[in-house]
C-alpha cells in the first residue's frame, strides 16, 4: 500500500492549449514537508492548480489524497478539496465577521450541520495554532501573524491529509514568518499532514531545511538545490 499523498507520473500540465510543464514525476508521502520554488511564470501555480483540481489532468497519471486526477469531474472536485487545506498569502478572511464565524462559514460550506460539533472543531483548530482565546476578535484586531494563523486554522478544519500553502510568509516580518514556519512543521510532525509550500523566500528555506521541488525550463526538478 503506497504511503503517497501526491503521486504524479509522466504528467504534462497545460494552460489551455499551452504546454507549461512536461514529464512531471513527483511522489510526496504522508507527513512530508516539501517546498515548491521557481521563478514567476515557470509553472508553480499551474502545478498547484492541477493538484487542487483547477486545471484538468489530461496527460499522464496523477492521484492526490486518494483521488484520481484523470477521473475528476465537477461532482468530485468539492470532495477532493475537502480532503486538503489551502493557506493563502493574503489571508482571505471575511472582514465582516469574527474569527469563530469565519471558521464556521467554511464548515457550513463544506457540509457541517451540528452547531455543537462545529464549535468543538473551531476550538480545536484555534488551539492547534495558538489562538485559543482569539475566536471573538475581528480580523482587523489581529496582527498579520495572527491572521495567518487563522488562515492555517481554517485549512485544518476538515482534518486534511494535504495542505497547499501559497507564499504563507510573503507578507510577514522575519520573526513572525519563523513562527509560522515552526507551526507548519509542527502540523506535519504532530498530525501527519503533508504540506507543499510555494515560496520565493530562500531565507526561510535556509532556516527550515526540507525537500525542495523546482519548476524551471518546462520541467520539475526534485530535490533541487536552491541558491540564494
User: Is residue 209 predicted with pLDDT exceeding 50?
Assistant: yes
> What would the grid cell of residue 175 be?
520573526
> What would the grid cell of residue 48 be?
498547484
User: Is residue 25 predicted with pLDDT exceeding 90?
Assistant: yes
Dump pLDDT digits (tens) for 162-190. Answer: 999 988 998 889 999 999 999 999 999 99
Secondary structure of residue 153 in the 3-state scheme: helix
- Domain ranges, ordered by start, for the chain: 32-58+70-221
Q: What is the pLDDT of residue 224?
A: 63
Q: What is the pLDDT of residue 228?
A: 43
What is the DSSP-derived secondary structure letter of residue 99?
H
Q: What is the pLDDT of residue 1?
A: 45
- Judged on CB neighbours under 10 Å (0-12, 13-18, 19+), 133 is exposed
Q: How many residues does the chain have?
A: 228
Distance CA 47, CA 44 (A): 5
Dump pLDDT digits (tens) for 124-164. Answer: 999 999 999 999 999 999 999 999 999 999 999 999 999 99
Helix (H) or strand (E) holding 190: helix 174-191
Dump pLDDT digits (tens) for 41-92. Answer: 899 989 999 999 999 999 999 999 999 999 999 889 888 988 999 887 777 8
Region 27-44: mean pLDDT is: 93
Confidence band, pLDDT 50/70/90 cuts, at residue 123:
very high
Q: What is the pLDDT of residue 59?
A: 94
Q: What is the pLDDT of residue 227?
A: 55
Q: What is the pLDDT of residue 51?
A: 94
Confidence band, pLDDT 50/70/90 cuts, at residue 111:
confident
116 within 8 A of 88, measured Cβ to Cβ? no
Query: Which CB contacts under 8 angstroms, 24+ apart, belong to 53-59?
Result: 53/77, 53/80, 53/81, 55/13, 55/14, 55/15, 57/11, 57/13, 58/12, 58/14, 59/10, 59/11, 59/12, 59/14
Which residues is 12 bridged to in the sheet?
Answer: 59
155 within 8 A of 85, measured Cβ to Cβ? yes
Region 8-22: mean pLDDT is: 94
Q: Where are the beta strands (DSSP E) in 44-91?
A: 59-64, 67-68, 84-87
What is the CATH code for 32-58+70-221?
Answer: 3.40.50.300
Distance CA 152, CA 80 (A): 18
Q: What is the pLDDT of residue 91?
A: 76
Amino acid at each position: 500500500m503506497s504511503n503517497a499523498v501526491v503521486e504524479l507520473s509522466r504528467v504534462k500540465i497545460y494552460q489551455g492549449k499551452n504546454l507549461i510543464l512536461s514529464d512531471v514525476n513527483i511522489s510526496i508521502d504522508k507527513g512530508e514537508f516539501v517546498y515548491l520554488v521557481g521563478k514567476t511564470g515557470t509553472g508553480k501555480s499551474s502545478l498547484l492548480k492541477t493538484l487542487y483540481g483547477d486545471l484538468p489532468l489530461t496527460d499522464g497519471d496523477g492521484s492526490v489524497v486518494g483521488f484520481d486526477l484523470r477521473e475528476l469531474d465537477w461532482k468530485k472536485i468539492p470532495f477532493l478539496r475537502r480532503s486538503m487545506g489551502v493557506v493563502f498569502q493574503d489571508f482571505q478572511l471575511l472582514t465582516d465577521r469574527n474569527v469563530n464565524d469565519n471558521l464556521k462559514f467554511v464548515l457550513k460550506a463544506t457540509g457541517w450541520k451540528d452547531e455543537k460539533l462545529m464549535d468543538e472543531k473551531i476550538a480545536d483548530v484555534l488551539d492547534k495554532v495558538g489562538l485559543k482565546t482569539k475566536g471573538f476578535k475581528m480580523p482587523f484586531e489581529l496582527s498579520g501573524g495572527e491572521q495567518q494563523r487563522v488562515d492555517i486554522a481554517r485549512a485544518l478544519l476538515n482534518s486534511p491529509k494535504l495542505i497547499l500553502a501559497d507564499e504563507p510568509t510573503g507578507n510577514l516580518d522575519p520573526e513572525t514568518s519563523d513562527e509560522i514556519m515552526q507551526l507548519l512543521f509542527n502540523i506535519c510532525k504532530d498530525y501527519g499532514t503533508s504540506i507543499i509550500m510555494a515560496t520565493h523566500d530562500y531565507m526561510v528555506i535556509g532556516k527550515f531545511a526540507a525537500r525542495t521541488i523546482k519548476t524551471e525550463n518546462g520541467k520539475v526538478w526534485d530535490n533541487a538545490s536552491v541558491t540564494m
